[in-house]
Amino acid sequence: MFSSYRQVLAPTGSLAFTLPGLLGRLGYAMQGVSLLTAVAARRHSYAPAGTVAAAAMVGVAVGLPLLGRLVDRHGQRRITLPAALLTTLPQLALVLLIHRQAPTWALAAAAFASSFGPNLGGMARARWAHLHQDDPTTLQRANALEQALDELCFMTGPVLGALLCSWQPEAGLLAISVLTTVGGVLFAAERRTEPPIAPATDSAGVRPRAHGVPALLAVFFGTGILFGSLEITTLAWTGAHGHGWAAGPLLGLQAAGSCAAGLAFGLLPARGGTVRRLLLGLTAMTALLLLPLGAVGSGGGLALLAPAMLLAGSGTAPTMVSGFTLLQRLLPGSALNTGMAVAVAAIVTGSSAGSALGGLLIQHTAPGTGFALPAVAAAAALLIAHTARRRLRPAPRG
């Protein structure tokens, strides 16, 4: 395994942008827990905390595509460096406002502005697409590595954020500011692997390759619903059964299963076509997400739910790897960073929608019923991908 992934990192400068990207994404993974905990601790209520967290999500959904478009036009370094530095100001302002118990509207405005940070994960995938564009197997392996790093961040980020906030409510947000700023600056400093600015392609040239992108974005939105609903359902179920402490470990098991499956998937040869791999991944993910529902429905408790969450996570990373690899193939070089940013925004927006839908379902049914929603979301994504499979096939290169 290690020798296979060394091949991914063989190009000069690969590690020099991968590690800073990991720092920045760790900060992003800490944001949800840190923001909710800090606001709730100072305001003694989760109502303003939810409002501020929602404003931050809206900032991510709006800011990522805008910055992605600027990156495609002017290059990664020219946009990432000022964006990383300028975002530090509202991040620090948010910390000060929370500490002084400012009104909710002021906190929401600062949270919105602090979310306009660079999309390091998307830009890293754009660099891999540039470095390994002639080797589909190595590109799939690179995307698998990126997905595994994402899962690693979301395994450790919430835990780290919660630990810091237990010491001082705003400590997690201060750490986020340091991680995202340092990560962004160091990422921008690595210019050897930066993709060149691709000339803008006219609409007639883009349409044959990119006409399947909306359907693929709908698939990403569906996976976002999956993530958001699974998280809130796990929190509700563990709380209702007196195991509130177990929510974090259960979600960590789901992320661990995804991380391991992603690394294993990257070792497979890129055969059978990217669309076929995406459809197989969505099918497996849908089936595996029925396991947590079956575990709680059978009354097995934590002993049965824990392995079910681990197995359920194993279908996620291969699907995401295939989805991002397909997006790289569908998009022209002049829109690659924009497309990656929009894909992440679709996942974030879907996650917010999944949290809201999951909350409504839990409010009117038994907590365990919410585990049906992730499987339904995965099935809907599978149906969309299957219906649009012909549009999703990339045009032949050259």
Q: How far apart are CA 206 and CA 200, in angstroms?
A: 10
Last residue within a domain, chosen from 196, 216, 243: 196
Choosing from 196, 224, 252, the residue where a domain stops is 196
| pLDDT band with cut points at 50, 70 and 90 for residue 200 | low
Same-domain check for residues 217 and 298: yes
Instruction: Specify whether 170 is located in the same domain as 255.
Output: no
- Predicted confidence at residue 395, as pLDDT, reads 58
pLDDT of residue 398 exceeding 50: no
| Percent of the chain predicted with pLDDT > 90 | 43
Average pLDDT over residues 159-179: 89
Do 191 and 230 belong together in one domain? Answer: no
**How many CB atoms neighbour CB 385 within 10 A?**
26
100 occurs within a structural domain: yes
Beta strands in 114-269 (DSSP E): none
Whether 131 and 10 have beta carbons less than 8 Å apart is answered as no
Specify whether the backbone of 40 is left (phi greater than 0), alpha (psi in -120 to 50) or beta: alpha
Same domain for 217 and 190, yes or no, is: no
DSSP code, position 133: T
Are 150 and 17 found together in one domain?
Answer: yes
Q: What is the pLDDT of residues 74-128, one digit of tens each?
A: 999 999 999 999 999 999 999 999 999 999 999 999 999 998 888 898 899 999 9
* 34-48 residues labelled b (16+ CB within 10 A) or e (exposed): bbbbbbbebbeeeeb
In a domain? residue 3: no
Residue 4 resides in a domain: no
Separation between Cα atoms, residue 216 and residue 207, nearest integer Å: 15
Q: Look up the CATH number of the domain holding residue 61.
A: 1.20.1250.20
Domains in the chain: how many in total?
2
Does some domain include residue 358? yes
Q: Which of 153, 171, 154 is nearest to 162 (CA)?
A: 171
User: Residue 366: what pLDDT?
Assistant: 80
Q: Rounded to an integer, what distance in angstroms lies between the CA atom of residue 53 and that of residue 58?
A: 9
301 phi-psi bin (left φ>0, alpha ψ -120 to 50, beta other) = left
**Same domain membership, residue 218 and residue 106:** no
Within this chain, do residues 18 and 162 fall inside the same structural domain, yes or no? Answer: yes
Domain coverage including residue 136: 12-196
Q: What is the pLDDT of residue 205?
A: 38
Query: Would 1 be classed as within a structural domain?
Result: no
Q: Do 150 and 51 share a domain, yes or no? A: yes
Contact 378, 286 (CB under 8 A): yes
- Give the range with max mean pLDDT: 14-18, 30-34, 53-57: 14-18
Q: What is the mean pLDDT of the chain?
A: 87
What does the pLDDT read at residue 363? Answer: 78
Q: What is the pLDDT of residue 352?
A: 82
Burial of 202 (0-12, 13-18, 19+ CB in 10 A): exposed
Select from 164, 196, 228 the last residue of a domain.
Answer: 196
Whether residue 2 is contained in a domain is answered as: no
d(CA 30, CA 34): 6
